[in-house]
Amino acid sequence: MSFKYKKILYGFPQNSFDADLVKELIEDIDCALDFKRKPVGVKLLFTEEEYEGIEWKEPRVPLAYCVVVEKATRGMNFKAKLEHISCDGGTTALNLEPSTDRIESGEEYFSYNLYKTPAAARRVREGVPGLYRTGAKTIGLAIAPLEKFDIIPDVIIFIINPYQAMRIQQGYLYEAGGRIELSGASMQAICAESTVQPYMTGGLNTTTLCPSTRFLAKWKDEEMAIGLPYEKFKSVVEGVIATIDSTDTQKRKNEIIKRFESKNKCLNFKNL
């Protein structure tokens, strides 16, 4: 641990959360992509003080983490601890509780009849990102539409269709280029692939969801998810808007213009 002298201020002050800017960005990307569900913010809480400072309600009955996220896509906001999350995939991935030998050996995954051998199941398990491996226990979670946050969330989850996923990926690459390295196995899609993976890597991750979350949260067949670190949100929105002219048809661009005009905003395209 680095030594800190109490009379010296180190580094730059951290930026405060600009809720007005975030709401503008949400409005802009929604106008561009016409979301059917609200982008969801997720904040991991590591102290009781942080948790008690969140004034949102707790689920009345235990729910799977992905079900809480689904409710947030429809405008609801929650805070939750271990006792409020019913799926051990979510509780271990988010380190609300430790994992078990049965899970880590692959026995649990093998019991789902998704893998031919226990060894294959264990190899899948080894690749699933999980905060339980870090040792830093999570006390609770704040999960809500991004527009309702007044503190900095850790991750933003978009539930989108393939076209919208394409456009978010293009927006993500607009500024710096490169390639997107995705990680997934259609296993623990919301808790691990959409939340922990972007949280731990600092990069975007895309998932086609998993059987469990499709059953529990009742996502539509055409829906999938993107998890994005909050720090990348502004540049992604800017990238999505910057690439509209090059990627969308004239019909779609006319629809986008109308949505922006309904918010008293103006977009100009060269290629109309």
Q: Which residues contact 136 (CB under 8 A, 6 or more apart)?
A: 46, 95
CA separation for the pair 157, 174 (Å, rounded) = 20
Tokens of 164: 């919208």
Q: Model confidence over 67-108: pLDDT tens digits?
A: 999 999 999 999 999 999 999 999 999 999 999 999 999 999
Q: Model confidence over 149-162: pLDDT tens digits?
A: 999 999 999 999 99
Average pLDDT, stretch 233-253?
95
Q: Does residue 150 contact residue 19 with C-beta atoms inside 8 Å?
A: yes
Residue 271 pLDDT: 61
pTM of the model: 0.93
Residue 30 pLDDT: 98
Q: Model confidence over 175-231: pLDDT tens digits?
A: 999 999 999 999 999 999 999 999 999 999 999 999 999 999 999 999 999 999 999
Q: Does residue 145 contact residue 210 with C-beta atoms inside 8 Å?
A: no
Q: Interhelix angle for 19-33 vs 233-242, to 10°?
A: 40
